[in-house]
Structure 1
């Protein structure tokens, strides 16, 4: 029976996708529910699964654009179950006969590897690593040079522009050509649908919002000491490491309660202010930048946030983040510090109105109680849409985050001063 495998819909309003890559070859025997291809839309990357076991026949080449609902491949179920038998059938009969014999004859010693020679190219110099590879592959210099498919203008220009070499048996400039590692080649890559959509959205944000960025700095001493002191106990109890992101995401959620306009967004002629905090977390993946959402941060503790971050990171590495996991965020946190960024102006993730950027932690001299001390400092940035978020809210939001990071006890008091809360002040 022939089963058609059609392209599933990645989400509402998406009519076509790109078949990014095949994980199997035409004619392979596949199992039921096996991942056979990756499909990429302008919003997410999905896996195409085999609905039945059998022999696959590919109808669409990798890199082609295909309509949602179109047939990507077919599976002939008459070949189901041949995966294991195929392996034994491919073994030559001569090999089977040899394996069946139990004689006492010892196999002859392996012949010594061919010595790397260079009869026609005596001036060619071979690095120790290249020599080892050539010996293992039983090749000499003549075979390697003769194995070059063609000479391009690059090689000709390299030899032409190099200083003259001695006219030895190899010829003028020949050894310089062989040892040259200079390249002026370039590579062209087709933009993925996800990258195209991301480009359009980023340009639209710059053109359609009154984006402004405010900055502050945070002393990370308290959080770093707390993390160092309780890291092992945290792992033992919750099964996940305690990172810095969870502190900032939780602090941001509490700060949004104090400054709800930072969590707002424009919808036509109205301003929508959600009472919940669905925080998008920017994740760099091989497919490009993605922003999956952790929902209802206001209800999560640090361990809940860390577990959510861990799950998202694993899905991102595997390219399995679905469309439903990247929609509906109200605020975004991005961490350029993992790449070494000292300071940046992050771009708003529409329709949201604000994004907070974390950066690297660097020891810097700061004034503490009238004395200069070396403290681990992080610069924070908040980019916001000035059409609905005033400077008071944007600056106040970052100050509130700073206060909670520098005094983690305030995280328990909802961002307020615990001592004043105890005293009822």
Structure 2
């Protein structure tokens, strides 16, 4: 059966697009929802998935052509009668042995990675070729920019081939391995342990840039090496070139100082481990924040006596009524939301030569996980009750520790709270989570001598730190923000009175 592949809806007011890249060619086998081609509009790129499994027939719109909405892009021969795709290369000696009689080859595919996540890195294989596996047993672990994903075995059998080796980058539709299942699986011949270089996905950009991008770079005399690509595998799109033209020429970065020689007796006691994608992303974003924003930190301290007393008085009744524990984070979230209304520039961001003031609070709550720091976002926290905030923080925190947060759940925050006190930190200067302009650092509650009404008494005190972008937030605004938070926590009744 012939199925037409057409241009999808491109978005409001967008009527045409340019065919940037075809990922498949006529005769190639395709799976349902596998990406066939990429379209480019003035603002965004759109991937076109296969509407059904089969074989790609004719490509009607070639790369570089401009097409309208619903235009015919290609045809697809779907169904059981579809011709098999031609082999791309001759079988090698390292090819996996076929499954023994009675067994069936089961492909292990990349699982759903989450909204907007298109690729991952294979971090660890828990099984080797030739080993028996049980259904749902963990085969390997994938890493994306923010989360780790475990890949279970789709069936019981023997792992006969590893297609994507550790360290290789795979897209959301890639095949990871092959399992020989069935009664005779246990006798299946083990395959070569390492895949050939031809089958391993390339870690870097190995495809041509979009035709419209190449044309614009040629017209403007731009070196493609100086343009950061946002397309699949780092492909440079037209929008990337436009962004590069709008940016001022950057001074070449000074090369990193070479590592000092290490004595041989020390070198043998060192261990080198490749930086994970998550850790690499954290490092890049934090350095970008330092390079871009004018970060300054101001401090204050808060007497937690009244907040602790209120929490102690109602925590049991609160948990019975709402089914969630009453912690300190809901008090701090409420206090910050109130302070952000008073000092709106702390809840704003810079976009070019404009300041964007947010009329809502999407609160980021930094959480430490075994994989690294992540910041899930509690949306519209300013509209939530104490119970709703506590429930949201508990749910997001558990999903963060389990590595199950999606990218969408960690984007769009307008302000962040980081609680280093849970690890015993007494004082720190938190770093901004760009493009946000403010982050509040909470610390350990510690009994300290304070002068109250002329007498020295022990009080549970906490240091607060507000790091802010001095380009948009002045010192007066930063201090005012911290004072508002302090006042709300030292007299939590103010939160009920909206004071």
Alignment match of 1:351 (pick from 416, 426, 435): 435
Structure 1 pair 9/204, CA: closer, same or farther in 2 (3 Å)? Answer: farther
Structure 1 pair 58/235, CA: closer, same or farther in 2 (3 Å)? Answer: farther
Q: CA deviation at 1:396?
A: 1.1
Alignment match of 2:296 (pick from 189, 203, 212): 212
In the TM superposition, what are the counterparts of 1:68-87 in structure 2 within 5 Å? 68=171, 69-76=173-180, 78=182
Structure number with the bigger relative contact order (C-alpha 8 A, sep ≥ 6) is 1
Q: Residues 328-383 of structure 1: CA distance to partner in whole angstroms, max 9, x if unpaired?
A: 11111001111111111100001111100000111112222232221110000000
> If you compute each CA radius of gyration, which structure gives the higher value, 1 or 2?
1
Structure 1 pair 302/28, CA: closer, same or farther in 2 (3 Å)? Answer: farther
Q: Residues 43-97 of structure 1: CA distance to partner in whole angstroms, max 9, x if unpaired?
A: 33233355566654451566322221332112445469x99xxxxxxxxxxxxxx
Name the count of aligned residue pairs: 317
The question of 1:289 aligning with 2:392 is answered no
In the TM superposition, what are the counterparts of 1:383-402 in structure 2 within 5 Å? 383-402=467-486
Structure 1 pair 61/379, CA: closer, same or farther in 2 (3 Å)? Answer: same
1:402 aligned counterpart, secondary structure: helix
Match in the other structure for 1:112: none
Structure number with higher helix proportion:
1
Alignment match of 1:336 (pick from 415, 420, 429): 420
The question of 1:274 aligning with 2:343 is answered no
Alignment match of 1:195 (pick from 279, 282, 291): 279
Match in the other structure for 1:37: 140
Choose 387-396 or 214-223, whichever is displaced more.
Answer: 387-396
Match in the other structure for 2:124: 21
Q: Which runs of 5+ in 2 are unaligned?
A: 1-103, 187-263
Match in the other structure for 1:237: 321
Once residues 307 and 257 of structure 1 are traced to their aligned partners in structure 2, the CA distance between those partners, rounded to angstroms, is 23
Once residues 217 and 49 of structure 1 are traced to their aligned partners in structure 2, the CA distance between those partners, rounded to angstroms, is 49
Superposition TM-score, scaled by structure 2 size = 0.58
In the TM superposition, what are the counterparts of 1:121-270 in structure 2 within 5 Å? 185-270=269-354
Contact 1:259–1:393 (8 Å) recurs in 2:
yes
Q: Residues 88-131 of structure 1: CA distance to partner in whole angstroms, max 9, x if unpaired?
A: xxxxxxxxxxxxxxxxxxxxxxxxxxxxxxxxxxxxxxxxxxxx
Match in the other structure for 1:136: none
In the TM superposition, what are the counterparts of 1:54-69 in structure 2 within 5 Å? 55-60=158-163, 63-68=166-171, 69=173
Structure number with higher strand proportion:
2
Once residues 482 and 342 of structure 2 are traced to their aligned partners in structure 1, the CA distance between those partners, rounded to angstroms, is 11
Match in the other structure for 1:4: 107
Once residues 459 and 158 of structure 2 are traced to their aligned partners in structure 1, the CA distance between those partners, rounded to angstroms, is 63
Contact 1:10–1:323 (8 Å) recurs in 2:
no
Q: CA deviation at 1:288?
A: 0.9
Q: CA deviation at 1:320?
A: 1.8
Structure 1 pair 58/333, CA: closer, same or farther in 2 (3 Å)? Answer: farther
Superposition TM-score, scaled by structure 1 size = 0.68
Contact 2:122–2:170 (8 Å) recurs in 1:
no
Q: Residues 177-222 of structure 1: CA distance to partner in whole angstroms, max 9, x if unpaired?
A: xxxxxxx933322211111111111111111111111111100000
Once residues 328 and 79 of structure 1 are traced to their aligned partners in structure 2, the CA distance between those partners, rounded to angstroms, is 51
